[in-house]
Amino acid sequence: MNSKNTVVFDGQPLTIEAICQIANQQAQAKLGRQPKFIERINKGARFIDTLLKEEGFVYGVTTGYGESCTVSIPLNLVEQLPRQLYTFHGCGLGDHFDARQTRAILAARLTSLARGYSGVRYKLLQQLTELLKQDILPMIPQEGSVGASGDLTPLSYVAAVLAGERDVLYQGQRQPTQTVFAGLNIEALTLKPKEGLAIMNGTAAMTGIACLAYQRAEYLSRLSSRITSLASVALKGNAYHFDEKLFSVKPHPGQNRVAERIRADLQLRRSAPRHDTRLQDRYSLRCAPHIIGVLEDSLPWLRQFIETELNSANDNPIIDAEGEHVLHGGHFYGGHIAFAMDSLKTAVANLADLMDRQMAQLMDPKFNNGLPANLSGAVGEQALLSHGFKALQIAVSAWTAEALKLTMPASVFSRSTECHNQDKVSMGTIAARDCIRILELTEQVAVAVLLAVVQGVELRGNVDSLSPALQNTVRQLREHSPFLSADRALEQELRLCLELSRKQYWELYDSSFPDTTPRSHAPRGNAVQGALRPED
């Protein structure tokens, strides 16, 4: 871990990258210590105390929750409410979020609470920061949120852990929170009346996951551009399909960026001939920028949706300590994240489909312009036995089908729940989880097709004449997966390459590559950059 990087939670907007850095343990979480920030946070908590004293009634503080808000709780029982809330929501099931996802969820909740509109004490933010600093991770089951009373059930596990209850993952082991807190001298928090609701009534589970999904998708977009370039070489494709003039007349900026990347990879420096008599390539080569471009052009608005949600007070009620108001609304509704994740699912699964089609062309002597069947590298008698990448193609087809199947939007499955109080919900957490699964499957497809295109390029025998960028990808892959000259079981090297892909190991169009910054007609909205600051 680079201990120099710190992400400061002080109410200032944070980026997707900041959340991912924390999730990947590339940066430390730090809570703002400026007196002004501390006072701003504590003022909200004090305002609730004052209201309670003066009026004796605040929703979620002296009432039941949701549909039960008409039930008034006598002041002598009010202190018990937050514990009651996280306790009855302790009904999550399914697999647990993994360590990286859990860190992202904690960081997303902290970002929102640090805005200062949720009426929690600074002390609570400190406890949340402590979990991140010491990597004490609540065991959060993934299933049981409709994503529109916030992620109540998943976040109940965060609330309970702050209060010293339930289980955490600490130093690789599931342990009772109480044991870990005792060992580290951390005092369990007794949550104040509004604090249970403030932690749970928000979109942090889906938003944390969305940050991770965004970063993976952004890398996959670049990886599939590089794979397309290699596929074009292996299939003896027509590089003029990526001509600059051609793309200038259909100016989607992301699509143009993809064409520009492929053009550079293919060293296309001349303009197209006056009259190209070559046959046109199949769509999975010729239209690759149009397919990858949909994802690339979606990135700015996806970032805007995700970062706006991340940096919002997505709680209810909202506490405006400055103006002295308790504002009742529905900011726990995760509609933007639901739509972002449902859309990202479709865009990413289309990359799987694109690469699956490229693989299909490469494998089949009817379409591959003279390459051996199944890209077998065997010679002599062995060639008769060899099946090359045949099974890998079948696997790619299976992974692609599974990814495509999961693109069914989650948000349209809204259903009325909780005695019709929550009669329209976002299903954003389901969308985000589906998106992660589609990313996993598409990464598998990408790694498999990368093996195939590199084999195809080598079978052509012209690696030395390729652009430095393409040669570099061939070299990087070959360090981990040799040329397939005889059939072998590929599982282990596929797993290794997958791991490398997830670590963004392949060098792809780094930031010095021209035109990777969004253009003026692809506005960043209120997305915020540069929240990652060196240790002060």
Ligand X SMILES: N[C@@H](Cc1ccc(O)cc1)C(=O)O
Q: Name the site residues for ligand X (rule: CB under 6 A).
A: 65-66, 149, 152, 201, 316, 332, 418
Residue 66 or 141: the one with the smaller Cβ distance to ligand X is 66
Query: Which DSSP letter does residue 463 get?
Result: G
Q: How far is the CB of 58 from ligand X (least distance, A)?
A: 12
Residue 316 or 442: the one with the smaller Cβ distance to ligand X is 316
Residue 68 or 529: the one with the smaller Cβ distance to ligand X is 68
Residue 21 or 201: the one with the smaller Cβ distance to ligand X is 201
Angle between helices 204-234 and 288-310 (to 10 degrees): 160
Residue 87 or 467: the one with the smaller Cβ distance to ligand X is 87
Query: What CA–CA distance (Å, rounded) separates 169 from 461?
Result: 51
- For residue 127, the surrounding DSSP H or E stretch is helix 122-133
Torsion of CA 292, 293, 298, 300, to 10 degrees: 120
Catalogue the active-site residues: 59
Q: How far is the CB of 166 from ligand X (least distance, A)?
A: 17
* Four-residue CA torsion sign, 423, 429, 432, 438: negative
Q: Torsions phi, psi of 157, nearest 5?
A: -70, -30
Among 337, 350, 344, 348, smallest CA distance to 411 is for 337
Place of tokens 């590298």: 377
| Structure-token pair, residue 473 | 């990808």
DSSP-derived pairing of the beta strands 137-138 and 325-327: unpaired
Q: How far is the CB of 366 from ligand X (least distance, A)?
A: 58
Instruction: Say how many C-beta atoms besides its own lie within 10 A of residue 531's C-beta.
Output: 20
Q: How far is the CB of 153 from ligand X (least distance, A)?
A: 9
Most distant pair of Cα atoms in the chain: their distance? 92
| Structure-token pair, residue 209 | 């996951």
Identity (one letter) of the amino acid at 130? E
Residue 316 or 343: the one with the smaller Cβ distance to ligand X is 316
| Structure-token pair, residue 491 | 């599982």
Identity (one letter) of the amino acid at 230? L
Residue 66 or 90: the one with the smaller Cβ distance to ligand X is 66
Q: Which residue's C-beta sits nearest to ligand X?
A: 66
Q: How far is the CB of 193 from ligand X (least distance, A)?
A: 13
- For residue 469, the surrounding DSSP H or E stretch is helix 468-478
Side-by-side strand order, sheet with 173-176: 137-138, 167-170, 173-176
Q: How far is the CB of 415 from ligand X (least distance, A)?
A: 15
Q: How far is the CB of 318 from ligand X (least distance, A)?
A: 10
Q: What is the CA radius of gyration of the chain?
A: 26
Within 13 Å, how many C-alpha atoms sit on residue 280's CB side?
8
Q: Are 281 and 237 in contact (CB under 8 A)?
A: yes
